[in-house]
Structure 1
Amino acid sequence: MRCSEPCRGFCRWIETLPHHKKYVLRKGEYSKLPRCFKETILGEAVPGSVRQLRGPAGSHVHEFTDRWVLHRDVADAEADPLGHLLSDAPEYLVSAIAGIATALLAKQKRDGKNALLAGWSMTAFLLLLGKMGKTIGEDDRENEAKAPRLS
């Protein structure tokens, strides 16, 4: 996504952020985000968040009543969904492929009734395992951000 000139300093600041680190922008200082941030359904729902937005430089924002929590993804989910799955959310891709493979194998063994259940079970198990592994390696703290003021 391209950014309009009035908020270019804010967008340049986003480009300097490391990937996957969370930053908090208090709504007292940032009552709204620039127009280049668009609401999206792509992404995980975060408990307590009101909605999600995506913006320039792979930015992904969860809106809460009192704050915005922003992080940068390596690949933009809307512009490059496969790249996003591979680099930012591989647990979804791996669990889906494993679930499909499990269902196909179960069906091949003439257990068609339980094939779908086996596939869903494998998908859920691997997704949960992937999420746990990702959580262990992530710094989940929200860091207070000092972003450039918006015009």
Structure 2
Amino acid sequence: MKMNEIDVPKHLRQFMLEGARETKLGDKKGAKKQYRYGNLHIREYDDKYTVHMDKYDPRSDPIRHLVWDAPEVLIGLAGAIIGGRKVGSYLYNKNKNAKQSSILSGLIASIVIGYISYSVSKKLKPQ
């Protein structure tokens, strides 16, 4: 849970802002559904809602949202691109006849390195 995230138990208050739109954007963190209303990010669970403000709405300003609200996604993508390219290039340079296996190895490495980069940066991200 983010430090600035508020839990609203459903048994105390059933609510949904008029104009809030269901969205697929954002980390669901186990929620059934999630909604956005401007910079407000609402997650719906069986027993509660969680609510927090993002600095930027990903629907209208996706780049700033990634940089300020979800940098772990950018770090994961960078790790995937850099790591996959390095592994694929290294293997290709060792054996120029193994182009397909170099590409496949680079792809697998990009998935693994990207996931590790994302996971580590998410754990290190200040809450």
- Which amino acid is 2:32 matched to? V
Equivalent residue for 1:51, pick from 8, 19, 33: 33
Partner Cα distance (2:60, 2:13) in 1: 26
**Counterpart residue number, 2:96:** none
Q: Gaps (5+ residues) in structure 2?
A: 93-101
- For 1:43-122, list aligned pairs within 5 A: 43-47=26-30, 49-56=31-38, 58-109=39-90, 110=92, 111-122=102-113
Instruction: Read off the aligned partner of 1:80 and give its amino acid letter.
Output: D
Question: Which has the bigger relative contact order, CA under 8 A and spacing at least 6?
Answer: 1
Measure, in 1, the Cα distance between the counterparts of 2:15 and 2:24: 19
Could you list the per-position Cα deviations for residues 84-115 of structure 1 after superposition, in whole angstroms to 9, with x for gaps in the alignment?
11001101111102211222222223132311
Aligned-partner SS, 1:54: strand
Q: Which runs of 5+ in 1 are unaligned?
A: 1-18, 139-151
TM-score by length of 1: 0.69
Quote how far apart the aligned CAs of 1:20 are.
6.0
Structure 1 runs of 4+ aligned residues shifted over 6 Å read none
TM-score by length of 2: 0.81
CA contact (8 A) 1:20 1:72 kept: no
CA apart distance, 1:64: 1.7
Count of residue pairs the alignment pairs up: 116
Q: How much does 1:28 deviate?
A: 3.9
CA RMSD of aligned residues (A): 1.8
Amino acid at match of 2:37: G
CA distance in 2, matches of 1:69, 1:113: 41
Superposition deviation, residue 35 in structure 1: 1.8
